[in-house]
Amino acid sequence: MTGKTHDAIIVGGGHNGLTTAAYLAKAGLDVVVVEKNPHVGGAAVSLELHEGWVYSNCSYVCSMMRQSIHRDLDLTRHGLILVPYLGTVNFGDDGQTLIDYPSEEAAHLELKRHSPHDADSMHRFQADLARYAQFIRKTLLRTPPDPTSMRPRDIRELLFLGKQMWSLGEREMYEYVRFFTISAADFLEDYFENDLIKAAMASPGIIGTALGVYSPGSAYILLHHVMGDVDGNIGAWGLARGGMGAISEALASAAREHGAEIRTTSGVQQILVKDGEACGVVLENGDELNAGIVVSNLDAKRTFTRVMDRNDLPPGIYEKAKNFKIRGSSGKVNIALDGMPQFTGVPDNRYVNRGGQGFTGSLKTMERAYDAWKHGRWSPDPFVESVIPSAWDPTVAPPGKHWMSNFVQYCPPTLAEGPWTPEERDAFGQAVVDKIERYSPGFKDLIVHMEVRTPHDLEQEVGLTEGNIFQGELTIDQLLFNRPFPGYAQYRMPVKNLYMCGSSTHPGGGVSSACGANAAREILMDLKKPNTVPEDDFYDE
Amino acid sequence: MSTNDPYAGERLKLSPFYPRASVLNIREAWSAWNGYKFAEYYYDAEYEYFCVRNQCATYDICPMQKYLVKGRDAEAMLNRMVTRDITKLKLNRVTYVVWCTDEGRLVDDGTIFKLASDEFMLTCGSSCIAWLRMSTYGFDEVNVFDVTDDIAALSFQGPTSCAVLKEMGLEGIEQAKPFDILRFPFHGDTLMVSRTGFTGDLGYELWISPGLALELWDELYSAGEDYGIQPFGEAATNMARLEAGFIMPDMEFNEALKTVHFEHDQTPFELNLGWLVDFSKPHFNGRRALLEEKKRGPKYTLTRLDIEGNKPAEGSYLYGDRNCKKKEIGYVTSAMWSPAVKANIALAMIRTDCLQGEIWAEIYYEKELRHYQKVARCTVKDKPFWSPPRARATPPPDY
């Protein structure tokens, strides 16, 4: 046991933990981050798993990163460049393709080719989504109010929410409430007739979530994925130059510059509580670190059921954490390729062939894939969202070679027959490769190396319970003032001096740095230190 | 072009690279520069900007004016014309220069290439043959030739640019230091490569006879295919140069010879280019006026601003107080949201005596046909917004 007592220990060096560390250190606190892996980043990492190829082997694209934080922490100077990518192609079951061209005119003509009705309707759809997104985006860098509290700050924040809601107009308020609970498929039914267009628009509604396109609540997930922006281009997605690890490395560099200490290969065995107050951690190697406060970047379930003693928690918290909805549903297949794959029905040009690929199929196919997950299996015909970052980023593969990130929905955390085995994992990877091969004959021959990741692997390596990429599902019962639990949505946890800063807190999953920044602001407020966290910056204000 | 085209006299000239560039100008987004048909952008301005910052991209600089200044007195004549000391310029080196009227007002800026002890190439944005000819008065052995149409030139910029030139077989290109000139045999002719550019990043400019322009394009694009090569136009150039803090005619300065209103042109000191004025060399154009201005201090100073929020302060007036009640202290010359730096940046002409105080920009912007106004705090930045180490490294990294 060392004599030194830090001001704060951050448990877990994910991007949110690093964000909290940076802002606490900026306020002059003595901060130490402890991370179990030899690298920082959690699920935002760049790893060279095959010589010459650098995979963003978990999260792979970025759109929610708060620009105000990027700017405030000067992350560009710390090495971060976000590059938007263009030209995603969606592949239908019947061999049809739908290309999302960056030019408005071209995109409209492409939609019109499938359905003049839908091409027209797309304008209304995008305006409606933009309006909903505008509302939720304004809450990202704010602490959710406690609706039962009479404290002036909570009342002020509630009024803020009310005012934002009111500004939608009466009819839209009804629509908005409906939107929070409806399924993505039902929501899209109001706008579109073409099945491929519907499927393409619905796909963001299932990414990372244990819901199907027809499950209530999936419409909100859709919004969660399109509310981000890159430089004001709402709904655009970007790649971090050097892979997603570049985001974490830049945040770590900023945190260090402000004086934070970051210890890797330092997993936490237990969060220590004394006299009802969090006071430090015991590392896996037995070392004990003391601090005035402890901030958990781990998910809510892991925090309260794995690294805390049940007896240190107030009654009911353990049960809440145990029942926290954090079902794993996504897999990832990272593939090193000897060359650029060609896709059937896609013009071989320098832009379109190089964007993202949505192996979407149809609403029916996506629902079938969800059915398989419910029964503890992977689908032989999964929904796969792919992108080839090496077409845009010269730093992640040798010239002329490529790597393809394939996000797979769905993949169960445990199989009906029992736990995952290496053989089952390979078979799952093969199902994904087989699906891509259908749209890109010869694809298999290009494969140089492949990494297959099931939810089980994500849990083992990253520490996400069940491999849930959002650190808890994004359904209304677990959003805003309900995240992670009602009554504990303001980053302060049921034990004094214990805070949470990960995606289990508002505003939830995604590489946004918002959870971490919000947590830092609350902590600084409790410590009566000046706030170092910037306000958010909006394009549509 | 058909001779019986009744509009032939009004049509723009086509660059030697046009047959290739036009195929890639998918948006048909053309504008004009010095009589040439010139791309505003090819596919998407922001995409092209990111190619410059992330991969590599080419910019057709055929329309840029190029003059050969030859003869025993060439050096002395240029030294008399520009504010910088050209006698210090070594063989096969390039330097950035400005030249002024007798009143010390900026005529134009450009670059001088020292190709031989008695041969220089001067490049600039606007035609300046008349000024050059006038500048030869009193020098016996100097001739000026307009070689704009005799040289095809392509600016090739971005972090993978050196790797591509190596791939193309330009051996030793990685040894070129910033502002160096190298020559390579190319299809029986010579390809001149200078490590220069207008983006503030790693980059080169390639100079070839027009007859070999398409061969150059094809070889470059073939070598660059796996390095993300893409043509970029005026829009992306303007973004990159503003991040680098470079000035543009008709934005930061009004060419003195085209200026009607008193002091609506600028001096090098006002443009924060005092470092280009060398009073220790023999007499040069505008010396007396500039010496006086140096003593007095410039009335305005071109300043880099980081502005809060994300609304570009295009055309904004600047004030010393948040209420914008007192007299204005300056105006924004160029402004943009910088996607790479993630900052709302601008260049602005600000009254020198007001630089130490608060600076506020009154910004107007539009949202669905309605106009809005906001006032944003500005912070003065000493350094360029974008200046990566690779731009100066020799040898530069491959990406």
Smallest Cα distance from B310 to chain A, Å: 7
B251 in a domain, yes or no? no
Instruction: Report chain B residues whose CB lies below 8 A from the CB of A76.
Output: 340-342
Give yes or no for a cis peptide into B395 (omega within 30° of 0): yes
First to last CA, chain B: 41
B287 in a domain, yes or no? no
The CATH number for B161's domain is 3.30.1360.120
Mutate to test the interface with B, among A395, A401, A536, A538 (most CBs of B within 10 A): A395
Distance CA A534, CA B16 (A): 51
Instruction: Report chain B residues whose CB lies below 8 A from the CB of A391.
Output: 228
- The answer on pLDDT for B166 being more than 70 is yes
B49 has a chain A CB within 8 A of its CB: no
pLDDT band at B2 (very low <50, low <70, confident <90, very high): low
B166 shares its domain with B235: yes
Question: Which two three-digit tokens encode residue B201?
Answer: 């990043």
- Residue A1 has what pLDDT? 47
CB contact under 8 A, B227 and A394: yes
Residue A240 and residue A82 in contact, taking contact as beta carbons nearer than 8 Å: yes
Nearest CA in chain A to B225: A400
B362 in a domain, yes or no? yes
Distance CA B131, CA B122 (A): 12
- Residue A509 has what pLDDT? 94
B57 shares its domain with B156: yes
Q: At which of B149, B171, B187 does a domain end?
A: B149
Smallest Cα distance from B306 to chain A, Å: 11
Nearest CA in chain A to B373: A541
- Residue A194 has what pLDDT? 97
Interchain CB contacts (distance < 8 Å): A and B: 63
Half-sphere exposure in the Cβ direction for A338 (13 Å, CA): 7
CB contact under 8 A, A392 and B55: yes
B51 shares its domain with B158: yes
CB contact under 8 A, A71 and B226: no
- Residue A136 has what pLDDT? 87
Residue A148 burial (10 A CB sphere; 0-12, 13-18, 19+): exposed
B337 has a chain A CB within 8 A of its CB: yes
- The answer on pLDDT for B139 being more than 90 is yes
Closest C-alpha among A522, A525, A514, A523 to residue A70:
A514
CB contact under 8 A, B55 and A394: yes
Nearest to B399 among A102, A394, A400 (CB): A394
- Residue A2 has what pLDDT? 52
B325 in a domain, yes or no? yes
Q: At which of B207, B223, B244 does a domain end?
A: B244
Distance CA B210, CA A127 (A): 50
Torsion on CA atoms A188, A192, A195, A200, rounded to nearest 10:
-60
CB contact under 8 A, A232 and B310: yes
Closest C-alpha among A254, A287, A255, A252 to residue A270:
A287
CB contact under 8 A, A537 and B310: yes
The CATH number for B102's domain is 3.30.70.1400
CB contact under 8 A, B50 and A83: yes
Beta strands in chain B (DSSP E): 30-33, 36-39, 56-60, 65-70, 94-100, 106-116, 119-124, 143-146, 152-157, 181-186, 189-194, 203-208, 229-231, 300-307, 317-319, 328-338, 343-351, 359-367, 370-381
B167 shares its domain with B144: no
Distance CA A7, CA A30 (A): 5
Smallest Cα distance from A18 to chain B, Å: 20
Question: DSSP string spanning B212-273?
Answer: GHHHHHHHHHHHHGGGTEEE--HHHHHHHHHHHT---BTTTB--GGG--STT-S--TTTTT-
Nearest CA in chain B to A396: B399
B22 shares its domain with B94: no
B164 shares its domain with B56: yes
B214 has a chain A CB within 8 A of its CB: no
B390 in a domain, yes or no? no
B189 shares its domain with B236: yes
B342 in a domain, yes or no? yes
> Which secondary-structure segment (H or E) carries B134?
helix B129-135
List Cβ neighbours of A157 (8 Å cut-off, separation of 6 or more): A142, A143, A144, A145
CB contact under 8 A, A394 and B228: yes
Distance CA A224, CA A330 (A): 16
Instruction: Report chain A residues whose CB lies below 8 A from the CB of B46.
Output: 84, 231, 233
For A130, the 3-state DSSP assignment is helix
Residue A331 and residue A420 in contact, taking contact as beta carbons nearer than 8 Å: no
Nearest CA in chain A to B46: A84
Instruction: Report chain A residues whose CB lies below 8 A from the CB of B230.
Output: 350
Instruction: Report chain A residues whose CB lies below 8 A from the CB of B159.
Output: 394
The CATH number for B349's domain is 2.40.30.110
Q: How far is CA A330 from CA A37, A57, A215, A378, B2, in A?
A: 21, 13, 16, 10, 62
Q: How far is CA B75 from CA A211, B104, B112, B119, B156, in A?
A: 75, 21, 10, 8, 28
- Count structural domains, chain B: 3
Mutate to test the interface with B, among A62, A74, A81, A535 (most CBs of B within 10 A): A81
Task: Mark A180-194 as b/e (b = at least 16 C-beta within 10 Å).
Answer: bebbbbbbbeebbeb
B5 in a domain, yes or no? no
Instruction: Report chain B residues whose CB lies below 8 A from the CB of A83.
Output: 50, 53-54
Smallest Cα distance from A402 to chain B, Å: 10
pLDDT beneath 70, residues of chain A: 1-3
What ipTM score was computed for the predicted complex, to two decimals?
Answer: 0.95
**Domains, in order of start, for chain A:** 5-44+62-82+242-325+475-526 (3.50.50.60), 122-193+212-236 (no CATH)
Question: Which two three-digit tokens encode residue A350?
Answer: 């320098």
CB contact under 8 A, A232 and B337: yes
Give yes or no for a cis peptide into A389 (omega within 30° of 0): no
Instruction: Report chain A residues whose CB lies below 8 A from the CB of B339.
Output: 82, 84, 230-231
Sign, Cα dihedral of B269, B272, B278, B279? positive
B48 shares its domain with B121: no
Instruction: Report chain B residues whose CB lies below 8 A from the CB of A233.
Output: 46
Instruction: Report chain B residues whose CB lies below 8 A from the CB of A350.
Output: 230
B43 has a chain A CB within 8 A of its CB: yes
Distance CA A261, CA B224 (A): 42
B23 shares its domain with B52: yes
Instruction: Report chain B residues whose CB lies below 8 A from the CB of A241.
Output: 54
CB contact under 8 A, A231 and B163: no
CB contact under 8 A, B339 and A231: yes
Q: At which of B244, B261, B280 does a domain end?
A: B244
CB contact under 8 A, B54 and A83: yes
Nearest CA in chain A to B224: A399
Residue A297 and residue A14 in contact, taking contact as beta carbons nearer than 8 Å: yes
B190 shares its domain with B324: no
Instruction: Report chain A residues whose CB lies below 8 A from the CB of B399.
Output: 394-395
The size of chain A, in residues, is 541
B56 shares its domain with B157: yes
Name the B residues in 86-125 with CB < 8 Å from any A CB.
none
Per residue in B258-298, pLDDT (tens digit) is: 999 999 999 999 999 999 999 999 999 999 999 999 999 99
Distance CA A134, CA A541 (A): 9
- Residue A177 has what pLDDT? 85
Domain that holds residue B102: 65-149
Closest C-alpha among A254, A199, A517, A519 to residue A368:
A199
Residue A389 burial (10 A CB sphere; 0-12, 13-18, 19+): buried
B102 shares its domain with B115: yes
B275 in a domain, yes or no? no
